[in-house]
Amino acid sequence: MAKAARFVCSSCAAVTSKWAGRCEACGEWNSIVEEAPLSSGPGKAALGARRGKGIALGDLASTEAPPPRTLCGLGELDRVLGGGLVEGSALLVGGDPGIGKSTLLLQAAARFAQAGLDVMYISGEEAAAQVRMRARRLGLADAPVRLGAETDLRNILTTLDAERPALTVIDSIQTMWSDGVESAPGSVSQVRAAAHELTRFAKSRNVSVVLVGHVTKEGQIAGPRVVEHMVDTVLYFEGERGHPFRILRAVKNRFGPADEIGVFEMTGAGLAEVSNPSALFLSERGTPSPGSVVFAGIEGTRPVLVEVQALVAPSPHSQARRTVVGWDGGRLAMILAVLEARCGIPFAGLDVYLNIAGGLKISEPAADLAVAAALLSAREDAALPPETVVFGEISLSGALRPAPQTENRLKEAQKLGFTSAIAPAGGKIGAQSTMSLLRPADLTGFVGEVFGAG
Ligand code: TYD
Ligand code: MG
């Protein structure tokens, strides 16, 4: 019997029975590719015929010590990992091509090696000479990292089995290929098979493996999302072209908090840690101007101050533009709708641009009020009072909800020289806070108090 063709989205790995120009699951265009039918694994008949053996069962109480962790000394990376690298863990580091993944992992590999781990760096993308050149540029040529250039998974697994390094970096998973899989290198099947073999190896030998994955825009190469479910920890390396800031974000972590971020700056000599990101994100801020608002946010376990910029202008088009960078477009539409419905402030016929400065991507609902403030400030052409931070969540009714960790946000703002805050009523304020507070109950109250009658 001929097997039916299978189609897979190379961005999110959704499976469909027919080709489509756009993936229904993730919305990506041109990402659906045909995949060879799965030939491995037992068929129905085989499953019925083969009798498995019973598995060993135990209780939940454990007597084992938690797995050991190793700190590499790059504080930003150690924190994102949840307090260092866990022995025997599988990690995925995803990001756009050219964002600095290879640089980050070479630096991390060198640090872990200097911290005493046996580290191997397998480059499938660049020749060994190129990696050595980068190492020299980064001043890491003397680090005791073992370097190999290879793409054949079988050779890599054989080497790893013989050498048993404590940590192996595979750069990148898309270049690896296994002769047991019929499709081309980079395809969903190849990438999955390679990731599966490598993570299984990591688990069975209790060694750590880091997989590098490029975020891809073309359908022929599978993206890192297709292997996210196989690994313990998923980190994404983000940043804007033209900005030196890079953010390493934990989107999944079996050994630590998700949503933790580490902030780096790309310099001529590699990535430098940024231990005070607020100061960095606010460093580009000029004098207070209409449309600019400082949001006191929380990223992971840390408060981060960042500037929200809005521009509102009469639209020459029949349909006004809504452009967002660093925040959610749907959330912007919601804030605009609430401003119109609850406060009677229309944005129809006005183009709206919203930008989070410094290349940070914000997903916290607590940014709502800062966004609304920036939009109103731009629309009314009136700057907010100087040295003021804003945070709070807006509900569809126009009510304001206090944000978690109010105290930490205020502390960070005070530390950076801010003197006042606009935040919803409720939420604990520290006793030592000298910030002057404006605490509106709802959005209408906020508009009235900050922008006059509105
Ligand atoms: P790279 O780590 O190769 O990115 P990726 O592996 O994610 O594709 O880094 C690419 C960019 O980083 C490249 O454009 C040059 C820049 N870069 C620096 O600015 N400073 C440095 O020290 C290094 C090594 C790279
Ligand atoms: Mg690279």
Predicted local confidence at residue 454, as pLDDT: 45
Mean pLDDT of the chain: 90
Q: Whose CA is nearest to atom 1 of ligand 1?
A: 100
Min mean pLDDT across 32-41, 198-207, 318-327 is at 32-41
Ligand with minimal distance to 175 CA: 2
Q: Whose CA is nearest to atom 10 of ligand 1?
A: 98
What are 209's two structure tokens?
Answer: 């493996």
Ligand 1 pocket: which of 266, 267, 273 to mutate (most atoms within 8 A of CB): 266
Closest CA to 418 of 326, 291, 275, 293: 293
Vertex 361, ends 359 and 364: CA angle to 5°? 145
Q: Whose CA is nearest to atom 25 of ligand 1?
A: 270
Report CA(60)–ligand 1 centroid distance (Å): 45
How much is the average pLDDT of 421-449? 88
Predicted local confidence at residue 329, as pLDDT: 94
Ligand 1 pocket: which of 103, 174, 240, 247 to mutate (most atoms within 8 A of CB): 103
Query: CB–CB of 321/327 below 8 Å?
Result: no
Residue 423 has pLDDT above 90, yes or no: yes
Predicted local confidence at residue 376, as pLDDT: 96
Residue 172 Cβ contacting ligand 1 at under 6 Å? no
Any idea which residue has 């960042």 for tokens? Answer: 306
Q: Highest mean pLDDT: which of 77-86, 216-225, 238-247, 268-277?
A: 77-86
CB under 5 Å of ion ligand 2: residues:
102
Closest CA to 370 of 443, 278, 295: 295
Report CA(102)–ligand 1 centroid distance (Å): 7
Any idea which residue has 């801020």 for tokens? Answer: 285
> Any idea what DSSP says for residue 254?
T
Alpha-carbon gap, residue 361 to 259, rounded angstroms: 11
Residue 99 Cβ contacting ligand 1 at under 6 Å? yes
Alpha-carbon gap, residue 6 to 243, rounded angstroms: 41
Report CA(153)–ligand 1 centroid distance (Å): 25
Global pTM value:
0.83
How much is the average pLDDT of 196-200? 94
Min mean pLDDT across 53-62, 105-114, 119-128 is at 53-62
Ligand with minimal distance to 215 CA: 1
Closest CA to 398 of 361, 319, 343: 343
Q: Whose CA is nearest to atom 21 of ligand 1?
A: 270
pLDDT digits (tens, 9 = 90+) for 393-418: 999 999 999 999 999 999 999 999 99
Residue 100 Cβ contacting ligand 1 at under 6 Å? yes
How much is the average pLDDT of 275-300? 86
Report CA(102)–ligand 2 centroid distance (Å): 4
| Residues 6 or more apart in contact with residue 403 via CB below 8 angstroms | 298, 364, 365, 366, 391, 392, 393, 409, 423, 424, 427
Any idea which residue has 């989107």 for tokens? Answer: 251
> Any idea what DSSP says for residue 312?
E
